[in-house]
Every structure is written in structure tokens, then in C-alpha cells.
Structure 1
């Protein structure tokens, strides 16, 4: 393999209608060894992709939220194993589903609720007391049971309203049962877990979540282009969002069901799970901070041992997200790529966003990459394009 294969592959994706535009930066030992940009941020208006194009980061917001929580842990303001009732007493009434249900048993389509609604639960469904309370660690490692199954996801979705602020929505969720006993299983809390973490940051720090991120993370690193709310200039750099179908790309930027978290951000709902916008240029700074053990150009954001903790096994007991991979604290860690089919080296960690954004870091090889694109139906962490970026990066600049 050589680096020309990256450009060739990206051009094929553009020409085949797999994506409208993308940008990639690869670093080795902290130095840029490859960067490229392809296609369009906005096809209709002829605006080409650039390194400062703004993207909807979606779940690549989660690692940022995790760093915010770990900052407070370093400051002694919370502990990973603290019960969340210490900060949000309303969760003291938490109940747990006695069993998990297949979606087809309780899911009801509803045109007013794009994610669907919860129908009638089986008569024998019981809600039991938790064996222990959900902890901060459980939320960071996707082992809380909150919003992690059919019942929790549909019930929380049905409670949400567009004008909610973060505190209001989290308060509503306190009435929703956990899908499994805290710390007993894993999976993926797409929304609830990390939004609760964002609210905990607010309670502990006394700042709105967006203000905390600006003060403690973004400003020290010189980051201006990661934000919950776009100013006019940033809005002019925002990529359109496309739906790909058999070689055709449809602009779905204005569809509410595609962008519900971003609509909410405009009303002051700062979603720690999926609400941030960002450019490749500035997310690369965040990734470099993690790769450089918690510092960026002299600004110390986290201690070295804290970053190492984040990329180690996070749950209270061993729980694999998939064979060969487990959750750290806010990021997925791959330890046996041969078991999970990931084209990376052991020890690689990172995460993705629903619209195709992706990053990964391998500490041993000092190899990292940030990739951004703008497609609504790419599959998030399961994106075949993300897998190909990993394959090319390790094939050209590293070892697997």
C-alpha cells in the first residue's frame, strides 16, 4: 500500500455517490503524515469541502463529554463510583425492567414521533428495585441500563419535547426504568447516558454544560470550532447532510427527524451524547490532546494517568461490547481485532458519529486519524467507510 491509495479510494466513494464530501488527517508521532479533502460540503451551492468545514459530530460528542467528567474527577468534585443520586436525587426512585423485550413486541410507529412510541407492555412485565444505584462509571462505560434497550429508549423518546432544556429532559427521564441491572450488562446508550453526564457536569460545576466545555477544554486548546450553537460565520461553513440511495445523494439537512438533537441545541438543550458541531481542524486538536496524554501545545487538560484510565476497561466488571472490544470511559477500546473484525492494531481506541465522523488513536504506534463526512445513513460506528479508513491508515503508516 502507498498513500496514493487513500486519494483513489476517496475519489471512488465520491464518484459512486457513496458520499458527497470528506476530509482526513493522519498523524504519526504527532506530526501530520497525510491529509486530504474531497468533494463537496454543499453540492447545490458548489461549496467544496475544506478542513474548516463544520460537521454535525453526533456521537463524537461523547468523548468530549467524557473528558469533561474526568476533569471534574481530577478536581475531586466527583468520583467515578459515586451514585448518580448524589447529584440527581430524583433517580432514587429508579426501577429496573425484570427482563428485556424485543422491539417488535412493544414498538408502535407514529408519524409524530419519528423514533416510534412504546406500545402496551406485556402483562407479566415487572419493574424491580435496582441491586445498586447507577454510578458515573456505569454511564461512561455504557453499562448503566439507562436508555439501553427497547423500553428505555422508547419511553425517553416519548417524553422529549423540542423546547426542553437539559435539566428539564433529564428530570423527565428519572421516571423511566433501566433496561437491565446497573453494571450487569453493556451495549450502547445512544442518548440518555451521556446527556445525564452533561447534566451532572452542570450540577457539579455550577456552569451550563456549554460554558464548562468552553472554559475547561476548548479555550485552553484554542478550539473555536467545536460548539453546540453555530454563529453566523460557522453556519456558512456547515456541511449539508446527505442521504445516499443507489448512487444518488439527497440533501436531508432540513429534515427534523434527521437532526432532532441539533434542533434542540438551538433552544439551549446541550446534548453531551450527540449535540456538538465541529470542524476536522479543531477536532484534530482534541484528538491530539488525547494522543499526547492529556496535553495540547503546553496546555494541560488532563493528567497522563487520567487519559490512560479512559482508554482502559471502564466498567466495574469485565463486559465486552463485542468479542475483542470493550468500553473504556467514553470510547471503544479494541484489544483483539482478530475477534471483532476491526482492521486496527490492538489497543486502538476512539469513536464515531452517526453521520460518518470517526477518529481513532493507537498509543503504542503513536498513530491517529480524524475523518469527517456528511451522510445520514452511513451507519455510525459500523460505517464501511470508517473501516476502510482504518485499513488504509494502518496498512500505510502502521502495523496490524
Structure 2
């Protein structure tokens, strides 16, 4: 018996000696991430982006333990106009709109307006009788099968609804082009009803496929609140947080602060995208997307990020409850969801409610740096933000370059956290 007890004790001691992964809770005794060495690394990294010609301009802002610990900007917001990039520059944040929409929706969740596993058709009846694409028959007609289960609200918060986005499947390209979902003259209601008329590409919950789910969330906010989506954002998020520079349409008086966007060629040359091709944020349109479309400044978006790291509050503003933030920052993808498009390129992550969620530390120096428990997202013009609850750190990176450049994010993260240290 004694031998058994000694063996069990030995196993316990060995097991307890292994370091446990971070839990996502703040470590008040942890050493500062942004010290003088980190600041020098970040400065050098951002400057190198501009000096190498990869981008026209860049700015970054970092808060740690509720204090601003880093800000700098390099290059031009508008290279042709010689307008410098700075913290007051307004940029197009594209898909960094999505987490804002998620917060808007979850405010209604806290009021009991819906449950995550409610059928979406309970609130938007057009989604009641969806069909799933299985190919074409010999005559070129779509082969469709019925749903195995309804699309749920949870599906539209984690990109598992199955909405059609790809144009490389026979028959799907034509119906997508005809629907013209992203036409800015569509209202949210018109866009969503057109989407509901299309076949799904897979059974709900079976794959992760990035697409218009968050636009559906925005329409759901309108249906549940009875208010236009932009108005709801203003009243429930932007005004309480003091986000005075975040909106869909940039006012004429602020256009001089509005960054140009650039496209990088295969050869690495930057070309300014003509203003005539970028009218969405300078003209009123019917569409107020939930998945893209907002413009913001570093300080404005940092207020949003700090609200998240502070578990739903910032100053006197109480946007969400701590348990709701935790729910949003928890992985909602099961291991059975193996088809995840390009999500694995962002590291060993899952997906919560409109955020990627880091599940494991980087295994190699090639992976994106970060801390288990962080949640984050980025935008098509290569903007990025993340929330690191363990170190009480939030970071926002603004650039305006296409195509999306994940290497910029990798370099910025490495500069913030330092060299990769294998476990």
C-alpha cells in the first residue's frame, strides 16, 4: 500500500511541476511587455515597413495596464498630398468593423432578445427553408438538399452558417453575380433577403467559411432593436465610449485627415487607389454593412479595444458584462470543423463571437506571436488589433495597403513580444 501511495505522490509532484498554460486572466505581477527594448524594436520595425516601400505610412498605439505605453507613426497617410500619418489619421478599417457589430449584437443578447442556439429564422423568416448546394445535374441545374438542422444565431457569429461566397463552383457564380449582395445601394434588409434566396455551400456548423454572416448580424440588430444599424452603433457604442471619429461616412471637414489606400504590385510597387474607386466612405449609401465599412482613428479604436480588455467597461461607460466578453472571447468551433479556409494562417486559433481566439502559443518562430487567451481581428487593408487579457495589453496597427499583408502583422507582433522562445 505504501508503495502505491508513494507512486501516486511522485506522479502528482511531477505533474504539478509542469507550467500551466495562461488562463486568459490578468497577471498583475507579470513584467511589462512594452519596455525600452520593445519600443526600440517596434520603432525599427514600423520604420522598416515604410523605408522598404512596402507601405506608404503606418501608425501604432499600445496600451498596457491601462496606460499608453507606445505610439508612433511613420510615412504618409496620403503620399501624393504629402500628408503625414499620425494618430489623428482616419482610415478604412474594413473587417475590424466585425467585432464592433458583434458587441452591438451581444448588447441585445444581454437583454434576453435571443439565445445563441435560436434558429435564425425565428427572427428573419426568410432563412427558414434554406437548401444546400450539391453540384449541377446533367442539364446544368443546381442540385440542392434540405438542411440537416437550421442556421442558428451562433452560426452567424462564428462563420459556420454556410452562406455562399465563392465564385469558383459551377452554377454558384451566376447566382451570386445576379444577387449583387455588396451593391451599396442595397439596404441591409435587401441584402439579407437576397442572401437568403441563395443556396448554402455546406450544412450549417460543418465548416468555417468567412463571408457575409456579420452583415446578417447587423440586420438582426435592426430587427431586434427597431433602429437603423448605424444609429444603434452610435447610441450604444460610439457615444458612450467617446469614439467621435468612427463612422461610415467621413464628413467633408475631416477629409484632409482621411488616408489614401494603396495597392502593391507583384513587383512591390505601390500605386494609389483612385478616389473615384473609393466612394463608399465619402458618400451616403443605403448599405451600412456589419462586416466592413467603418472608418476610425487609432485613439477611437483603442477605446473600443480597452473596453474589451477591461471586461466591458471603459471609464463610466458600461458596454457589456464581463461574462459576455468572456463568451465572445471563447472558442466556439468544435474539432469537427476541420475546413477553416485561411484561419490557421493566423496561428493556432479558434473562433469566438466575431474574434479569432488564440488557443496555443506559437510552436515555431514562423507562427504569429501572441499569448494564449488573446482575441483579435484584422482588416482587408492590413489593419490589425488584438486584446491580450493576460498582460492587460491592447494594440492597434493602422496601414492602408492591398492585398492583405499578414507579414506586416507577424513582424509587428514579434516586435511587441520579442524573439520567439521555444517551450
Please, what TM-score do these two structures have when normalized by structure 2?
0.82
Partner Cα distance (1:5, 1:374) in 2: 22
Instruction: Figure out how many residues of one structure are paired with residues of the other and give that number.
Output: 373
Does 2:407 correspond to 1:384? Answer: yes
Instruction: Write out aligned runs for 1:147-162 (5 A).
Output: 147-150=164-167, 155-160=175-180, 161-162=183-184
Q: Which runs of 5+ in 1 are unaligned?
A: 102-119
Cα distance per residue 1:188-223 (max 9 Å; x no partner): 22xx11111101100110000000000111111111
Partner Cα distance (2:66, 2:255) in 1: 30
Give the aligned partner of residue 341 of structure 1. Answer: 367
Give the aligned partner of residue 129 of structure 1. Answer: 146
Give the aligned partner of residue 21 of structure 1. Answer: 57
Contact 1:319–1:326 (8 Å) recurs in 2: no
What SS class does the counterpart of residue 39 from structure 1 fall into? Answer: strand
Instruction: Write out aligned runs for 1:26-65 (5 A).
Output: 26-65=62-101
Q: 1:34 to 1:182 in 2, by over 3 A?
A: same
Contact 1:138–1:315 (8 Å) recurs in 2: no
Please, what TM-score do these two structures have when normalized by structure 1?
0.86
Give the aligned partner of residue 231 of structure 2. Answer: 211
What SS class does the counterpart of residue 227 from structure 1 fall into? Answer: coil
Picking from 351, 356, 374, the partner of 2:382 is 356
Partner Cα distance (1:338, 1:125) in 2: 43
What SS class does the counterpart of residue 103 from structure 2 fall into? Answer: helix
Q: 1:153 to 1:182 in 2, by over 3 A?
A: farther
Cα distance per residue 1:57-85 (max 9 Å; x no partner): 10000000000110100011122111111
Give the aligned partner of residue 22 of structure 2. Answer: none
Q: 1:316 to 1:80 in 2, by over 3 A?
A: farther
Q: 1:42 to 1:274 in 2, by over 3 A?
A: same
Does 2:132 correspond to 1:96? Answer: yes
Partner Cα distance (1:182, 1:363) in 2: 31
Instruction: Write out aligned runs for 1:145-224 (5 A).
Output: 145-150=162-167, 155-160=175-180, 161-189=183-211, 192-224=212-244
Between stretches 327-336 and 265-274, larger displacement belongs to 265-274
Give the aligned partner of residue 241 of structure 1. Answer: 261
Root-mean-square deviation (CA, aligned residues, Å) is 2.6
Give the CA deviation at 1:135.
1.1
Partner Cα distance (2:388, 2:163) in 1: 30
What SS class does the counterpart of residue 418 from structure 2 fall into? Answer: helix
Q: Which runs of 5+ in 2 are unaligned?
A: 1-36
Q: 1:12 to 1:324 in 2, by over 3 A?
A: closer
Give the CA deviation at 1:316.
6.8
Contact 2:45–2:415 (8 Å) recurs in 1: no
Contact 2:373–2:389 (8 Å) recurs in 1: yes
What SS class does the counterpart of residue 33 from structure 1 fall into? Answer: strand
Give the CA deviation at 1:378.
2.9
Between stretches 246-255 and 369-378, larger displacement belongs to 246-255
Partner Cα distance (2:138, 2:411) in 1: 42
Give the aligned partner of residue 71 of structure 1. Answer: 107
Q: 1:362 to 1:399 in 2, by over 3 A?
A: farther
What SS class does the counterpart of residue 218 from structure 1 fall into? Answer: helix
Picking from 396, 399, 420, the partner of 1:370 is 396
Between stretches 324-333 and 308-317, larger displacement belongs to 308-317
Does 2:352 correspond to 1:328? Answer: yes
Contact 2:45–2:412 (8 Å) recurs in 1: no
Give the aligned partner of residue 156 of structure 2. Answer: 139
Q: 1:279 to 1:253 in 2, by over 3 A?
A: farther
Partner Cα distance (1:232, 1:368) in 2: 31
Contact 2:119–2:150 (8 Å) recurs in 1: yes
Picking from 250, 273, 277, the partner of 2:295 is 277
Does 2:330 correspond to 1:308? Answer: no
Contact 1:349–1:362 (8 Å) recurs in 2: yes
Cα distance per residue 1:144-175 (max 9 Å; x no partner): 11135445677445412342121111111111
Partner Cα distance (2:91, 2:177) in 1: 24
Q: 1:314 to 1:154 in 2, by over 3 A?
A: farther
Partner Cα distance (1:162, 1:299) in 2: 32
